[in-house]
């Protein structure tokens, strides 16, 4: 009987955790980063694809979007996922390019919506902090797809991709390895670490790299500093108000 009661108590806790904004999205984003699409096996790539679908679903339903934004994101997400799966099975380049474009647009829509919610949120909560971290991950993933799209449009834009594309290997595994390297390059650029083992060669690739580096700096400098200032303001206000109330109460007595 006691075990049944514990089980019943645990279920609402799990449901509450999953229903909180940005919880599932953050988990899937971390899994998407950990299970980067290396050239290991079809099962490994399948796990990454499941996490990828989880990011799409949680980006729509686990975030606090306006109804119009949620509808727009859904309209972009469905064809993006369909093109992704059909491109893997039929190996059609046009489907893969469509998938890259729609995925980048989808990430831009979600990032813009989440940032507007985070900025407009007066009080800083755990939900706000989770949203900030999710946006940081999504910016990196968005630029990784942008880099891959640039390489398809302008072959040889990146040094590390130029050699990989010429390999006579399977198209799907080849694409996933390129995407894995793009994710690595995007996170390194966003964090402004700059290991130097991957080089942007073309003008458009260099411009995109500089833009991501600037976004990484401005994101931390502006958005995070604003969150800290708002948190400090409200925490100080909460400390002052009880003192003022107690002094007024003493005057009346």
Q: What is the pLDDT of residues 49-103, one digit of tens each?
A: 889 999 999 999 878 788 889 999 999 999 999 998 888 777 788 888 899 999 9
DSSP result, 70-90: HHHHHHHHHHHHHHHHHHHHH
pLDDT score for 41: 63
With a cut of 60, say whether residue 192 has pLDDT above it. yes
pLDDT digits (tens, 9 = 90+) for 95-129: 888 999 999 999 999 999 988 887 766 577 778 88
C-alpha–C-alpha distance, residues 180 and 96, integer Å: 16
Task: Write down the pLDDT at residue 18.
Answer: 58
**pTM metric for this prediction:** 0.79
Domains located in the chain, CATH noted:
2-240 (1.10.287.70)
When comparing pLDDT for 119 and 206, which is higher?
Answer: 206
pLDDT at 245 > cutoff 60: no
């Amino acid at each position: 009987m006691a075990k049944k009661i514990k089980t019943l108590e645990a279920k609402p806790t799990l449901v509450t955790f999953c229903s909180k904004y940005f919880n599932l999205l953050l988990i899937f984003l971390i899994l998407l980063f950990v299970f980067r699409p290396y050239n290991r096996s079809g099962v490994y790539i399948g796990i990454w694809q499941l996490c990828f679908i989880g990011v799409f679903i949680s980006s729509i339903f686990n975030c606090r979007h306006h109804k119009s934004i949620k509808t727009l994101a859904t309209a972009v997400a469905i064809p993006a996922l369909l093109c992704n799966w059909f491109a893997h099975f039929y190996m059609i380049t046009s489907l893969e390019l469509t998938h890259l474009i729609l995925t980048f647009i989808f990430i831009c829509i979600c990032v813009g919506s989440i940032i507007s919610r985070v900025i407009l949120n007066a009080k800083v909560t755990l939900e706000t902090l989770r949203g900030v971290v999710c946006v940081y991950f999504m910016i990196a993933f968005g630029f990784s797809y942008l880099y891959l799209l640039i390489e398809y449009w302008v072959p040889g834009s990146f040094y590390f991709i130029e050699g990989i594309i010429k390999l006579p290997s399977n198209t799907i595994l080849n694409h996933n390895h390129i995407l894995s390297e793009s994710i690595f390059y995007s996170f390194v650029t966003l964090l402004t670490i700059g290991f130097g083992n991957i080089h942007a060669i073309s003008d458009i690739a260099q411009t995109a790299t500089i833009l991501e580096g600037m976004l990484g700096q401005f994101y931390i400098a502006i958005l995070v500093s604003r969150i800290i200032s708002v948190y400090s303001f409200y925490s100080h206000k909460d400390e002052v108000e009880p003192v003022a109330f107690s002094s007024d109460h003493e005057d009346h007595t």
